[in-house]
Structure 1
Amino acid sequence: MSEQQAVAAPQGANPKRKKALIALASAVAVAGLGWGAYEWLVASHYEGTDNAYVQGNVIQITPQVGGTVMSIHADDTDFVRAGQPLVKLDPADAKVALEQAEAALGQTVRQVRTLYANNGSLAAQVSLREADIAKAQAEIARAQDDYNRRAALVGGGAVSREELNHAQTQLNSARAALSAAQAGVVGARQQLASNQAMTSGTDVEQHPQVQAAAAKVREAWLAQQRAVLVAPVDGYVAKRTVQLGQRVAAGAPLLSIVPLNQVWVDANFKEVQLRKLRIGQPVTLTADLYGKRVEYKGTIAGLGVGTGAAFSLLPAQNATGNWIKVVQRVPVRVALDAKQLQSNPLRVGLSMDATVDVSKQDGKTLADVPRAAAVAQTQVFESQDDGADAEVRRVIALNGAAARTPVRLLAHGAGPDRQH
């Protein structure tokens, strides 16, 4: 090949290379513009994380009284209704305590009835002491007359000096008897006032001593009712540790109930992602359990007030040793749709992917209005003391207090039969 042909060959190849480079540069530019447009028009309106997990209320069932486990009525994975018995304890001790409290109440009622009865006897004692005063006054008048007559006759010798002294002695004795009778009246009146202070303004049923004993009966009644542990809410049983025959103490965890219709998602966003997150923004979530075929619709219910590291059991000590910056995460609570949970139930602890639409920025980052209603509540324990008042009225009526307040007791339906 000649020198002229060797020089011409690369010059002929330059246009093709140039076109290829221009095409590549154009493709890169178009891709960059497309990516920028996507970031500006689409991606900038969303914040997402795969650090999200299902959370829920894990309700521990703990006894309010100690006892021995006699029966277990629910096991792990069982569904239970609110009010359904879960565990029954031996009620023998509670039954004995109730009987002792009822006996003490009956004895107190009889003692208080005695106080009311003493008012009459003490009033009679006051009248008797007042009669003693009148009698002593009459005796003084007679002794004074005897003394005056003898004193008039002692000068003529008709009455001896000894007889006059004897009359003086009788007069002094009558005066002493009057003083004793007057003191007796004061003492009787004080006893009557003391007894009336313990009975005035109330009847037997409402007397403080009776009410204190009645409170013990109610306490023992509740202890007997609490020997049966019931489910506070509808849910599924988990973490059952109680065993048959086990002696459990008050407050010991026996099992847990998880209401799966009340779960939520805690999505842990990086601190740089919190700039556009607001309460009320819509959230799209997918669970690893169902994959992309099930998409949950949620709403941001609140943003955490601290990072996860700040509330950890062993928080990081960033002021000691070598320090490496770690991006922190803040939990964001996402409320879920109850209908979707019913159709596709979730479990506590499942992994979720969360994507927040941050287009709307009119919400708040922190709640500034107190919650109007209770976060959670149950009414299954309100009826445990329903029979306690009826039992108290039965014991009071059985020990004779009904004779003083028959209308009150009949109005409350007290009867001779014992109801448990």
Structure 2
Amino acid sequence: MSASSHDTTLPAPESGNAPKDKRKRTRALLVVLAIVILAAVAWLLLWLFVFSTRETTDDAYVGGNQVGISAQVPGIVIAVYADDTQRVNAGQVLVRLDPTDADMALRKAGAALAQAVRQVRQQTQSAASADASLAARRLDLQRAQDDLKRRLPLLAEKAVAPEEVQHARDAVATAQSALESAQRQADASRALVDGSDVRDNPAVQQARASFRQAWVAAQRNAIVAPVDGYVAQRSVQLGNSVQPGQPLMTVLPLHDLWVDANFKESQLRHVRIGQPARVEADLYGGGVTYHGKVVGLGAGTGSVFSLLPAQNATGNWIKVVQRVPVRIALDPRDLDAHPLRIGLSTSVTVDIGDDRGDVLAKAPSTVPTAQTSVYDDVAAKADAAADAIVQANLGIASP
């Protein structure tokens, strides 16, 4: 047998690098697995301590009071002192109306008040005169009665004629009638002035009220700003004939703003009044953060209060996640540093870590939502003007 017939192919020996490659693959898999586990743990911790303790929405917009400026009395506009975008201070005159008619009405009311004071003074003097006349009539009656008493014994002794006694009786009856008439006259005179002095007399008080009304109406020809703010929506023009209640412009107090954040209903489970919130406005981006807190949750979803509420009782119905407005009060210091405008878009993050607060307010608010003091001294000034007229017409002898 030849040698070639016994040739066989021997297997190649295994490479010495195979175990090393296997160990590398195992190590790589372990590293990847460790990274995945660490990432999962990190995400779990992030969700537990960060994402689960806050609710976020970008369906949020800046809100604020829009103080409408309107006329309180009719008139013709003769001056406009403020325009859109301009700042105004509380008490500043914004629009002035023609004062001609109001001034004439005020003068008439002042004259009527003066006349009322003088008439009451005259009535007081008339009452005093009636009292003096009443006293005189009493003396006349007493004198007539005394004369009759003296003549009656003389009549029994026939010392006087019966006619003389009859005349004495007639004199007593006449004096009695005169006394009764004087009493009624005194009562009528006193009925107008008893129980009050000149200042408190009903006629004077009525004339005083008419004067105060005319004085206030004259002052309202100057339409003032009730709050500090910025003018918007000016529609009034020179020469306009305005009526009470007609809108002229709007004043926006930009130092007192809030954010209405519209959260999904599924996000409200742990939202409570008093929880802190962070707000970022698109105007400034993420570089500016506003600090605030939840002050209230809306009493209904936006669809309920819309102009055309949804009609869900129909054949074709699709469930839509509803949103509820949550009011976020902003720190005024943040607003002073970075002013906002009503209607700007924002993103809101509410910290819901502490959800022990109230969902709805338990008690009514006792603090005014907004108030102004620019009209506080109007009544006092009107009273002072009325007092001056009354004092000028009282006279020295009056109380």
Question: Same fold judged by TM-score > 0.5?
Answer: yes
Q: Is the 8 A contact 1:396 1:402 kept in 2?
A: no
Tell me the distance in 2 between the aligned counterparts of 1:67 and 1:347.
33
| 1:19-418 alignment, distance < 5 Å | 35-137=43-145, 140=148, 171-172=165-166, 174-405=168-399
Distance 1:358 1:145, change over 3 A: closer
TM-fit CA distance, 1:262: 0.4
Secondary structure of 2:247's partner?
Answer: coil
In the TM superposition, residue 168 of structure 1 has moved relative to its aligned partner by 5.4
CA separation in 1, counterparts of 2:359 and 2:149?
Answer: 100
Considering only aligned residues, what root-mean-square deviation do their CA atoms show, in Å? 3.1
* CA distance in 2: counterparts of 1:402 and 1:239, whole angstroms: 56
Which whole-Å CA distance do the structure 1 matches of 2:362 and 2:105 have between them? 50
| Cα pair 1:47 1:356 within 8 Å, conserved | yes
Quote the Cα distance in structure 1 between the aligned partners of 2:103 and 2:159. 82
Unaligned runs of 5+ in 1: 1-18, 153-166, 406-420
Q: Name the CA distance, whole Å, in 2 between partners of 1:145 and 1:42.
A: 123
How many residues end up aligned between the 2 structures?
Answer: 375
Deviation at 1:140, TM superposition (A): 4.5
How many angstroms apart in 2 are the aligned matches of 1:375 and 1:204? Answer: 43
AA in 1 matched with 2:362: D
Residue 265 of structure 1 and its aligned partner are, at CA, apart by 0.2
C-alpha deviation, 1:71, in angstroms: 0.3
Q: Which amino acid aligns with 1:295?
A: T
Identity %: 47
Q: Report Cα offsets for 1:14-44 as digits up to 9, x if no partner.
A: xxxxx99999999888766665554334321
- Give 1:119 shift: 2.4
Contact 1:284 1:298 in 2 (8 A): yes
Letter in 2 for 1:253: P
Q: Secondary structure at the match of 1:232?
A: coil
Contact 1:205 1:401 in 2 (8 A): no
Deviation at 1:55, TM superposition (A): 0.1
**8 Å CA contact retained: 1:266, 1:334:** yes
Give the counterpart letter for 1:392 in structure 2: A
Partner of 1:8: none
Q: Which amino acid aligns with 1:55?
A: G
Q: Give yes or no for contact 2:121–2:398 (8 Å, CA) kept in 1.
A: no
Residues 204 and 401 in structure 1, CA contact (< 8 A), matched pair in contact too:
no
Match of residue 21 from structure 2: none
**Alpha-carbon contact 1:221-1:385 (below 8 Å) kept:** no
Instruction: Tell me the SS of whatever aligns to 2:388.
Output: helix
Deviation at 1:213, TM superposition (A): 1.2
Deviations 1:268-306 (A, max 9, x none): 111110011112222122111122222222211221222
- The one-letter code of the counterpart of 1:270 is K
Rounded to whole Å, the distance in 2 between the matches of 1:99 and 1:32 is 86
Q: Secondary structure at the match of 1:236?
A: strand
> Closer, same or farther in 2 for the Cα pair 1:25/1:395, shift >3 Å?
same
Distance 1:73 1:38, change over 3 A: same
